[in-house]
Amino acid sequence: MNITSVLFVGVGGDGIITASNIVAQACMLAGFDVKKSEIHGMSQRGGSVSASVRFGDKVYSPTDKKGSVQFMFATEKVELLRWVEYLNPASKVIANDRIVPIIGQTIDENKIDEMIQSLTVEKLIKRKFSEDAKKLGNPRLTNTIMLGVLSKFLPIDEKYFFEAIDDVLPEKLRTVNATAFSYGVNLAKEYA
């Protein structure tokens, strides 16, 4: 069975659910069967959050098997590492270069970066996407920029992503997110 899957990982409040909804919608518009699953922690904010989007001719399971994910979309570095068992050497990882603190614990960022560098995946795009978003005037556009980068590696035409942004986001956020998406598409050229 030919299934492509994208695993979204991050922290509650990061916008994982919205980002994965946009990808799922784009997959549907492109004519694929698609299934999606979300895992939220117990807390409204701050817990680990993940979502899988799986698409192909026919998809049964909404969740992934370990070692089977082709793409990972990580909004935070510790969470990226928490899900490495789902990756394989052919996986491509797009990660925001940032750490969200954990209550009662100190995180050694250098060590986290070392761990990430030790991963032998096909492509690792680790970048301070939040800085890009600030350049565009809104830190909340980070995920959409990352989606733009991701889209260049997926077998889905760009136009379906723009349509999906229109379908998923409220009207007032559409234009600014379409701009952020285009920014990400351009950025992807640096990493091609």
Partner 1 sequence: MSFKLVKKIVSGNQAISIGAYKGNARFGSGYPGTPSSEILEHFKNYPTVTAQWAPNEKAGFEAALGASLAGVRSFATMKHVGLNVAADPLMTSSYTGVNAGFVVVVADDPGMHSSQNEQDSRRYAKFAKVPLIEPSDPFEAMGFMQYAFIVSEKFDTPVIFRSTTRVSHSLGMVQFDPRTLDNEQELELKKDFRKYVMIPSNAIQRHKVVINRLEELKKFSEETPLNKIESGSNNIGIITSSMAYNYVKEILPDAHIFKVGFSYPMPINKIREFVKQFDKVLVVEELEPFMEEELKIAGINIEGKKYFPVDGEFNLDIVEEGLHKAGILKDKTTKVFNAFELPKRPPALCPGCPHRPIFDILHSIRNIFITGDIGCYTLGALPPLAAMHTTVCMGASISMAVGIAKAQSKEKVVAVIGDSTFFHTGIQPLIDAHVNKANMTVIILDNRITAMTGGQPDPSTGFTLKGEDFQPIKIKELAKSLGIERVFEVDQYDYKTTKELIEREINHDGLSVIIPTRPCVLAPKKIKDKPLTVVADKCTGCKRCLRIACPAIDFKNKKAIIDEVLCTGCEVCKHVCPIEGAIVPKEEK
The least distance separating partner 1 from the CB of residue 190, rounded to whole angstroms, comes to: 26
Nearer to partner 1, 25 or 177 (CB): 25
Nearer to partner 1, 77 or 127 (CB): 77
Site for partner 1 contains 146 (CB under 8 A): no
Q: Do 144 and 184 meet the contact criterion of CB atoms below 8 Å apart?
A: yes
Neighbours of 179 (CB within 10 A): 16
CA distance 41 to 27: 26
Site for partner 1 contains 2 (CB under 8 A): no
Site for partner 1 contains 39 (CB under 8 A): yes
Site for partner 1 contains 81 (CB under 8 A): yes
Structure tokens at 8: 């979204």
Residue 81: CA count within 13 A, CB half-sphere? 15
Please choose, from the candidates 88, 73, 28, 29, the residue with its C-alpha nearest in 3D space to the C-alpha of residue 55: 28
Site for partner 1 contains 142 (CB under 8 A): no
Which one of 45-53, 126-134, 147-155, 177-185 is the stretch in contact with partner 1 (CB under 8 A)? 45-53
Q: Do 148 and 165 meet the contact criterion of CB atoms below 8 Å apart?
A: no
Binding residues vs partner 1 (CB under 8 A): 1, 3, 11, 21, 24-25, 28, 33-48, 59-68, 78-79, 81-82, 84-85, 87-89, 101-107, 115, 119
